[in-house]
A and B are shown apart, each in its own frame.
Chain A
Amino acid sequence: MARLAWDARAFTILAAMWVRVGWSYRTSFVVLTLSTLVISGVDFVAIVVMFANVDALGGFGLGQIGFLYGATAVCLGLADLAVGNVQRLGRRVRLGTFDAMMVRPVGVFAQMCADEFAFRRVGRIAQGAAVLAWSLSVVDVDWGPARLAMLVSMLVCGAAIFLGLFVLGATFQFVSGDASEVANAFTYGGNTMTQYPLTIYPTEVVKALTFLVPVAFVNWYPALFILDVPDPFGLPDWLRFAAPVAALLLCTLAALAWRTGVRHYRSTGS
């Protein structure tokens, strides 16, 4: 426990240092943050362009899709900000800088996340939050304490699910450093997939997204509860409240995989 606290403290100090480093090139910092915001917004503009041709996608209107889109964007943004840098594992192993981290008196994971901490990633969170806020102003929600709690839980658990996927993807790079792009299919792919109502996918895909790669819990099941929509696939109602379980399972799996990866890591080179 003390170790965990120490790692968290080290993460904060290192990350704060990298924010100061970024801030010393102010123009670049602002331009990069704004471009992150614009880049992640491109997807939503694409959906708006689609809606110039249709009134609904998979039975959902633009406002409801905005809710799904905003929620998954904020969750991915939070996870990316916190642990997105673990994706660089393959490069670090290749360059040998991963070895340097192992001899420092701070956990490797905390160092991986904090090193070159990219504060510009708040751009994505801001963009997602803006779409989410807009969607909440256009859709009718019968707000009560239960729905408010679900909104908060959705963002926390969704971020945790993406966090688990980032870490699992990075762990895969212990096996194959060159194949780092495979992880993108699950993280960014999971994000793109959940930007749309799952009704556009076949039932088997939705089951896979529920029980196999649980990105459906990021926004879909919580959204069914918040927007008060009956499950179009007729899956059990308790799934709406199962996001914390999915997040916990995935993160535990990711933590175990990461530990195994680090334990069995052998340096590159001769």
Chain B
Amino acid sequence: MLYVAVALSSFRRYSTYTAATLAGIFTNSVFGVIISFSYIAVWKENPGAGGYDVTDALTYCWLAQAMIMTIAIWNGGTTDDVAERIRTGDVAIDLYRPVSFLGWFLAGDLGRAAYHLLTRGVAPTVVGALLFDLHFPGSPLTYLAFLVSVALGVVVSFSIRMLVATSAFWLLDQSGLLTLSSVFAMFFSGLVVPLVLFPEPFRSVVLALPWSAFVQVPIDIWLGQRHGAGVLGGLAFQAGWGAVLLLACAGLLRLADRRVVVQGG
């Protein structure tokens, strides 16, 4: 219950920035249009590229725009607070709260993601559907699987962001690592170009990396590129990476807890 309350407050916290949300939707939509035309050009030359047809590709483009803020591909979310609190020393309070440190911030991040999905996820998708012919799943089960997949994507993204944030315990200046991690996330999530377009053997490699859980896996479920056991396989892939990375976060936090003296102490 506690974590639900945390998630709900986080949802409300993010919902106060209406002008920023509208501006973001506008910008996502402009980029959606630009990328749509570049995909149309690619699929005109090669109608079956990556196993998609042009409708799949356009759907991919708009759903990817919808994922940017939802998954927090370019960093952001509650992990930014963690990094800031480590720098100021406030993290000491978070560490001796009688609740799980990771649970607390993960719940907050899921609440944020829910808000971003309903605004910056749904709005660009609607704009895209008005401007272009997009693919919508026929079965409610597919929508359900997609939602679960997005939630798992948030978990994987949260753990990677948290790993970077906790490095602030050791590193004085994090900006290099932050930038590096956002480059990886941007490219290997499939945000700039669908991972299925990569030539082999790169394709198999990038599809196995945790970042493919951000954009490629959820969208493949939506598109029906994964169906039946494929859907479960995709979800298991995301859950597996999520579990491994959360464990890594927990391990790193323990190390920090033991070794690091909070500044000013």
Contact = CB atoms under 8 A, between A and B. Distances in A.
Given A180-B23, A201-B37, A55 B45 contact: yes
A196 B54 CA distance: 18
B198 interface: yes
A181 B26 CA distance: 8
Contact of B42 (A28, A54, A178, A179): A54
Contacts of B176: 27-28, 31-32, 35
Interface in A43-78: 43, 45-46, 49-50, 52-58
B192 A42 contact: yes
B47 to A, nearest CB: 10
Interface bracket on A: 35 or more
Contact of A45 (B34, B175, B179, B187): B187
Q: Tell me the interface secondary structure of chain B in the complex.
A: helix
Contacts of B40: 200
A181 B197 CA distance: 30
Interface of A: 25, 27-28, 31-32, 35-36, 38-39, 42-43, 45-46, 49-50, 52-58, 176, 178-182, 184-185, 189, 192-193, 196, 200-202, 205
20 contacts: A31-B179, A31-B180, A39-B183, A42-B183, A42-B186, A42-B187, A49-B199, A50-B38, A52-B198, A53-B46, A53-B50, A54-B49, A55-B45, A176-B23, A181-B20, A181-B23, A184-B27, A200-B40, A200-B41, A202-B37
Interface of B: 17-20, 22-24, 26-27, 30-31, 34-35, 37-38, 40-42, 45-46, 49-50, 173, 175-176, 179-180, 182-183, 186-187, 192-193, 197-199
Given A31-B175, A50-B193, 9 more contacts: A28-B175, A31-B180, A55-B45, A57-B38, A178-B20, A189-B34, A192-B34, A200-B41, A202-B37
